[in-house]
Amino acid sequence: MSGHGWAVMIPVKPFAAAKSRLGVDARRGDIARALALDTVDVVTRTAGVARVLVVTADAALASLLPGGVELIREREAVGIDAALASASARVGLRRQRAAVPADLAALAPAELSAALAMAASVSRAVIPDAAGTGSTLVTARAGVPWASSYGPDSFARHVALGCRPLPVRATSGLRWDLDTPDDLADLLPRAGERLRGVA
């Protein structure tokens, strides 16, 4: 992580409640934990990232985070947008901010770095998920107030907020968040070591 650059904010659901679409899999919490830690690890190794902030109500996460990652602990999980608003307030307007979900199983540092470089030239940016309806990366340039609207069909809402879609190829790990058993099977070959160890 460099001394200047992006602040990347990662909201993490409590692991017991995460990845509900994986069904009744007993490993669901372990998978969510591995996904989050692999994602955090990739972000910390990304060129152009100066600060990494994790927002969570999961009490166990603090002891698992690598050094240098800032933890914002929530009393209770209040949703992605509220978590990101809290993290953005801590960062302030002087730094460019980006949000990534904690389930980008196939993300590579070079992909994130390239996307952030593109985002630096616009006030706000968004990358759609593989389906084209949700959102993965959302950004705001320095001096631009933070705004996000995650959830179903969030891509259209982010565009309405003034986010410019970034041209990222369909195979990029930035497009693929992991929600379903099929996602898990498809992304596992490209996943980080923690996820491969539990999945």
Q: 99 near 138, Cβ under 8 Å?
A: yes
Residue 2 has pLDDT above 60, yes or no: no
- Asked whether residue 1 is domain-assigned, the answer is no
Beta strand 6-12 with 49-56 is parallel
Query: Tokens 């898990």, residue?
Result: 184
Whether residue 120 is contained in a domain is answered as yes
- Within a domain: 154: yes
Residue 199 within a domain = no
> Looking at the domain assignment, is residue 26 inside a domain?
yes
Q: Is residue 198 a part of any domain in this protein? A: no
Place of tokens 């952030």: 116
Q: Give the pTM.
A: 0.92
Looking up residue 169, the CATH number of its domain turns out to be 3.90.550.10
Q: Do the beta carbons of residue 73 and residue 62 sit within 8 Å? A: yes
74-92: per-residue pLDDT in tens? 988 889 999 999 999 999 9
Q: Write out pLDDT tens, residues 160-191.
A: 999 999 999 999 999 988 878 888 888 888 88
Instruction: Give residue-wise pLDDT tens across range 112-147.
Output: 999 999 999 999 999 999 999 999 999 999 999 999
What range defines the domain where residue 175 resides? 6-192
Q: Looking at the domain assignment, is residue 55 inside a domain? A: yes
User: For residue 62, is it within any domain?
Assistant: yes
The pLDDT assigned to 39 comes to 95
Share of the chain above pLDDT 70, in %: 92
The count of structural domains within the chain is 1
For residues 11 and 2, the model is more confident at 11
Where is average pLDDT lowest: 15-24, 64-73, 109-118?
15-24
